Amino acid sequence: MELTMDRLTKMYGSKVAVDRLTATLHKGVYGLVGANGSGKTTLMRMICDILKPTSGVIAYNGTDIHRLGEDYRDLLGYLPQHFGYYPDFSAYDFLMYMAALKGLPQSKAKQKSLELLELVGLTGEKGKKINSFSGGMRQRLGIAQAMLNDPKILILDEPTAGLDPKERVRFRNLISSFGTERIVILSTHIVSDVEYIADEILIMRKGTLLDHGPVNHITAHIHGAVWECEVSESEAAQLNDRYTISHLKHLGSGVNLRIVSESKPCESALPTSPTLEDLYLHYFKEESHRDR
């Protein structure tokens, strides 16, 4: 099982959304990380054959996905970032409807719908109208519809949005189990969602693939660029203005800081092991400064 993207480019007029992206994906969980507007959703839509690339090719086991058409979509499970539902649908109706579009015969559709409702913890709510559901319940239902056809390629765009911490943990475990037999691509800008479950991280910025590899491999790129120190309140304020702070904790005696910086930020700073969050901040310094 191999999904390859070869010099994949997508342009909206003169704006480049995805820029000559090349990658090869095999079985496993891939965390697609990037700031808003980095091209994650566009890339996912192209992988799902919703958007046609301006140039470049996406191939599944060596065949262009456009040529595979229906047969390719048959292998696909997709949860978009923003999705709706028909207002008169119950959770079960919704799954049965999506199962029909995925080409499942009715008996198989019934069986799969019930199984997945159980898996995402919505069995008790199967007859309830979706418009009475919370955001987290809708998200879980969205994940269930993506799994209806036992997809070989599962694409989840910001799937943890709207989930509470307990649901997020549950979801992470679910995704982890899905990844053993399929290609799972999971986009998020919440790095902790993918740090522990992704076999490989793909970091996107301005449409390009900035870095990719297992977490420990890519975080090694900033080894020696993450520091921890305990400073006074006034010094913390100064450091906050000059450096990228990944963690700040007020203590009784001062402030504990975790700083991402190529150079030693202050005298008391000691180097520490980088995490994916540190790496993200390292790559997206501009965005995090802009957001302040």
Query: What are the residues binding other proteins (CB under 8 A)?
Result: 12, 45, 48-52, 70, 73-74, 76, 78-80, 82-88, 97-98, 100-106, 108, 142, 145, 149-150, 155, 181
Q: Which is nearer to other proteins, 70 or 233 (CB)?
A: 70
Q: Are 198 and 280 within 8 A, CB to CB?
A: no
Return the beta strands (E) in 216-269 as ranges: 226-231, 244-250, 255-260
Task: State the minimum distance, in angstroms, from the CB of residue 151 to other proteins.
Answer: 10
CA-angle at 75, arms to 69 and 79, nearest 5°? 100
* Residue 283 token pair: 């790559």
Q: Which is nearer to other proteins, 179 or 274 (CB)?
A: 179
Task: State the minimum distance, in angstroms, from the CB of residue 93 to other proteins.
Answer: 8
Rounded CA-CA distance 36/15 in Å is: 15
Task: State the minimum distance, in angstroms, from the CB of residue 145 to other proteins.
Answer: 7
Q: Which is nearer to other proteins, 96 or 257 (CB)?
A: 96
Task: State the minimum distance, in angstroms, from the CB of residue 278 to other proteins.
Answer: 33
Q: Which is nearer to other proteins, 107 or 253 (CB)?
A: 107
3-class secondary structure, 38? coil
Q: Which residues contact 217 (CB under 8 A, 6 or more apart)?
A: none
Q: Which is nearer to other proteins, 146 or 225 (CB)?
A: 146
Q: Which is nearer to other proteins, 155 or 255 (CB)?
A: 155
Token pair 């203590």 is found at: 251
Token pair 């390009």 is found at: 208
Residue type, position 292, single letter: R
* Residue 127 token pair: 């007859």
Task: State the minimum distance, in angstroms, from the CB of residue 235 to other proteins.
Answer: 46
Instruction: Name which of 191, 158, 178, 155 is nearest 282 in CA terms.
Output: 191
Task: State the minimum distance, in angstroms, from the CB of residue 181 to other proteins.
Answer: 7
Rounded CA-CA distance 213/202 in Å is: 7
